[in-house]
Structure 1
C-alpha cells in the first residue's frame, strides 16, 4: 500500500476511535435526572404499588440491639427495672437512661429480673408489648419505651460513600439513603438500583428506578435497617470509560494520533 494511503487510513482510524469514545462517554439525560415523568412514554406501566403501611414494617433480626426504658408510678420500681443491660453507657435521656439489650441468635433478649424474652417475628411495637406483658407479674403499670440502638443499611457499588451507614431511625426513603451514601457516581445506573432485604423467611431483592417519580410514596420508597443498596455501573464503566475519560483516554488517543502523524506525515 502506498505510504500516503497508510497515513490517511491511520489518521481516519485514530480520529474515528476518538469520536466514538467521546460519544460512548456521554450519558443521556434520561439516565441521570431524578423524578422524571415516565407515564407519557410508550408502553410504560407503573411498576409500583401504593404502600399499605410505612412504619413498623421492620422485623427484628439477630444481632440487633434494643434501647429499653421502663417507667412506673413508683420511682423505686422504675430504678429496679432499669438496672441495665449488657452495655450501660448508651442514650441518657431527661428521665431514666435507656440501656442496650442485644438480640441473640434465637431472638431472645435477657432482661434483668425477668429473664429471657422471645422477640421472634416482632416489630418494634410488638416487642414493646411483649416486654410490657413480661413485666406484668412484677408491676402492672409499666410504661415501656423501646428503640433500635443501631439502625443502619449497607451501600455498595457506584456511590461515593460505600459501607455500612447509620440511619438514625427505623426507615429512611431511598433518596435519603442515596444522599447518605454520597449520591450516585456519574456512571452508576440510577434506573436499576437493587435493594436486598433480609426477612425471617430469607432475603428478598427488588429493583427501583430513581428516575421514576412514581417511586415516591410507593411500596418500595423506604429503606429499612440491614437493607443492602447496590448501584450497578453502566457498560461505559465496564469498557474502561469512567470519570477520568477526558484526561486519560482522550490524552492517550491524542498521543497515538500525534505519533502516527509524526511517523507517516512526511
Structure 2
C-alpha cells in the first residue's frame, strides 16, 4: 500500500508539471534550432486597413480659421470643444470609463453617423481615409471657407475571455496594436492558458470568423493575425491541469495532496509498525 501511494504521489507531481515549452513565447518550433535574435521577420502581406462597421465609435473633429464655423458642428454641452476630440487615457476599461463612448460618433445599424448641420452620413464599409474624405466633401458643399476634417477610430476595442489575468472589454488608444500589446494590456495570460490555442473571433463585413494562433511559435510575427483589429474577441483555452486548481491556488492544491499522502503513509507506518 505504501508503494502504491508513493507511486500515486510521483504520478501526481509529474502530471502536474508544466513544461516551459508550453508557456514560452516566440519559440522556433518547426526546426527546434536556436533562435536567431537578429533575424528579420517581415510582416504578412495583407491589407491591414480597417473597414468601419456598424456600432463602431469614431472621433470626428473639425478645424478652421473661423472658430464660429467649427462650433456649428459641435454638440452642445458635449464636454468637448471640438465634438469628440481624443481624450487622455490608456488601455483597459469598458464604456463606463471611456469618454469617447459619450463624446464620439457612434455608427448606427444602417452604417450612418449623424453630424450636426450635415445630417446622416453613411461611412460603414469605408476605411478611415475614405470616411474622412466623404465627410470632408459634405462639409465643402455647405461652406466656401476652409473647414478641415479629421476622422479616426476611437481606439482599438477588444474583448478577452478565458485564461487571461484580466477579462472583459479593453481599449488601446493606438491606431495599430499587436497581439502582444493586447496581452500586456490584459494583464498577460494565466500560467494555465494554452498559449498554442489562442482563438481570435474577428468581425467581417456580413459575418464572423474564428482563427487559431500559436503564441509559442515565433512565426506569429509574420502572421496576418499579428495585429489585432477593433472588435476582436480573444479567447484562450485552459490546460487540462486546470481541473486540479486555478493558477493562483495550484501550488497550494499540490501541497495539500502531498500533505495528505504523507499523513496517510505515516499512519500506515504506525499501524504496520514498519
> Any residues of structure 2 matched to 1:54-73 within 5 Å, and which?
54=48, 56=49, 58-73=50-65
Report deviation, 1:115.
0.9
The answer as to whether partners of 1:14 and 1:253 remain within 8 angstroms in 2 is no
Question: 1:51: Cα distance to partner?
Answer: 2.8
Aligned to 1:187: 192
1:166 aligns with 2:171: yes
**Contact 1:170/1:224 (CA < 8 Å) preserved in 2?**
no
State the SS of the aligned residue for 2:12. Answer: helix
Q: TM-score, structure 1 length as denominator?
A: 0.82
Instruction: Return the TM-score normalized by structure 2.
Output: 0.79
Q: C-alpha displacement at 1:233, in angstroms?
A: 0.6
User: Is contact 2:84–2:105 with CA below 8 Å preserved after alignment?
Assistant: no
SS of 1:70's equivalent in the other structure is strand
Call closer, same or farther: CA 1:22–1:176 in 2, change over 3 Å.
same
1:265 matched to which residue of 2?
A: 272
Structure 1: gaps spanning 5 or more residues = 1-9, 43-47
Give me the CA root mean square deviation: 2.6
Q: Which residues of structure 2 form unaligned runs of 5+?
A: 34-41, 86-102
Structure 1 residue ranges, 4+ long, deviating more than 4 angstroms after superposition: 239-243
Of residues 114-123 and 147-156 in structure 1, the stretch that sits farther from structure 2 once superposed is 147-156
Matched, 1:149 2:143: no
Q: Distance in 2 between matches of 1:244 and 1:149?
A: 38
Relative to structure 2, which stretch is displaced further, 250-259 or 176-185?
250-259
- Per the TM alignment, residue 150 of structure 1 is displaced from its structure 2 partner at its CA by 5.1
- Residues 117-132 of structure 1: pairs in structure 2 closer than 5 A: 117-132=121-136
Partner of 1:37: 28
- Give me the whole-angstrom Cα distance separating, in 2, the residues matched to 1:125 and 1:34: 35
Work out which of the two has the higher radius of gyration on C-alpha atoms and give 1 or 2.
1
